[in-house]
Amino acid sequence: MSWTADEIAAIVAADIPEGAFVNLGIGQPERVADHIPAGREVILHSENGILGMGPQPAPADEDMELINAGKKPVTLLAGGAFFHHADSFSMIRGGHVDICILGAFEVAANGDLANWTTGGDGVPAVGGAMDLAAGARSVRVITSHTTRAGDPKLLGALSLPATGRAIVKRIYTDLAVLEPDGDAFRVLDRAPGVTIDMLAERTGAPLRPADPSKGADR
Active site positions, annotated: 47
Give just the sign of the alpha carbon dihedral 153, 155, 159, 160. Answer: positive
Residue 53 CB coordination number (10 Å): 24
- Which amino acid is located at 140 in the chain? R
Name, in order, each residue with C-beta under 8 angstroms of 59's C-beta and a sequence gap of 6 or more: none
Q: How many CA atoms lie within 13 A of 75 on its CB side?
A: 12
d(CA 3, CA 177): 11
Cα angle at 12 between 9 and 14, to 5 degrees? Answer: 110
Outline where the chain has alpha helix (H).
Answer: 5-14, 85-93, 129-135, 196-201
